[in-house]
Amino acid sequence: MLQRVLPSLGRLVSRKSSPPPAEERRVWVRHPCRTETTVQSTNDPQSAPIAARVRNVSHGGIMLVADHRIDAGELVSIDLPGDGANRGAVLACVLQTEAAGTNEWALNCAFSAELSSDDLRQFDVAFPGLVEAEQRSRIRYSSQAAAVYEVVGDSTAERGTAEVLDVSIGDVGLATTHAIGLGTLLNVELSDSGGHRVATMLASVVSARPSTEGRFILGCNFLGELNEEQLRQLA
């Protein structure tokens, strides 16, 4: 089973991850922050979450200070600030680990999917020029499409249906009735509003949050890209 997803371009799947090259690390300006959060290695999802302080954060990455060491190259789940039931999480890769004091380590992490402006505001950072539109490397379009997903490598062949909330050539937002863990690899069949199949894509879950309607909102990166015609049919 494919277990780990690298954030380098948010698309590459491997059993052994490595930090992306330096030119990919800082797309966004980091902003000072004092919010507390929790972080958990995806290597052991049954382990207890680790408390951490946020030193700085941006749309593309975060610096955490924790009392447990997590090695560079590891994939982690980071909780986003918010009320208990509405608290989301995002997948990230640890780019660099440095000692930050007695039994403390600074973890420089890159998000596998860029945070939205609303997500960033939850960290209570104060900075000028935060635009209302989500600043993404790929334009996302609202969609009335539907999806059928299947968890790859699951012996129980877990399947389900999902509403497509938005889509770009490289990723998709899904609303599901079941929670799906960060880093899970999905086989996603996408159909247009008329029920006609448009594309079948492999995708990794890189962000997840519960909604007020009892559903779960998933951000998924494709392992590949839709072509322009497929995007037109789905958007």
Residue type, 191: S
pLDDT in tens, 196-225: 999 999 888 988 889 878 899 999 988 878
Structural contact between residues 196 and 221, judged by C-beta atoms closer than 8 angstroms: no
CA–chain centroid gap for 113, Å, is: 4
Domains of the chain in sequence order:
4-121 (2.40.10.220), 141-234 (2.40.10.220)
pLDDT value, residue 163:
94
> Do residues 91 and 206 lie in contact, with contact meaning Cβ atoms separated by under 8 Å?
yes
Question: E strands along the chain, which residues?
Answer: 4-5, 13-14, 31-32, 36-41, 50-57, 61-66, 75-79, 89-101, 104-111, 141-142, 146-151, 159-167, 171-176, 185-191, 197-210, 216-222
Q: How are beta strands 36-41 and 50-57 bridged, if at all?
A: antiparallel
Of 101, 62, 72, the C-alpha closest to 6 is 72
CA dihedral 104, 69, 19, 174 (to 10 degrees): -100
1 has pLDDT over 70: no
- Name residue 200's beta-bridge partners: 189
Summarize the confidence of residues 7-24 as an average pLDDT: 37
For range 21-44, the mean pLDDT: 71
The CA distance from 106 to 181, in Å, is: 25
165-184: average pLDDT? 90
State the distance between the two ends of the chain, measured CA to CA, in whole angstroms: 31
Separation of alpha carbons 35 and 53, rounded Å: 6
Q: Encoding tokens for residue 226?
A: 């839709």
Across the range 63-87, mean pLDDT stands at: 85
Question: Can you give the pLDDT at residue 46?
Answer: 80
The pLDDT of residue 9: 32
* Predicted structure pTM score: 0.58
Tell me the C-alpha distance between 101 and 69, whole Å.
Answer: 12
Confidence of residue 62 (pLDDT cuts 50, 70, 90): very high
Please compute the mean of the pLDDT values over residues 127-139 and round it to a whole number: 48
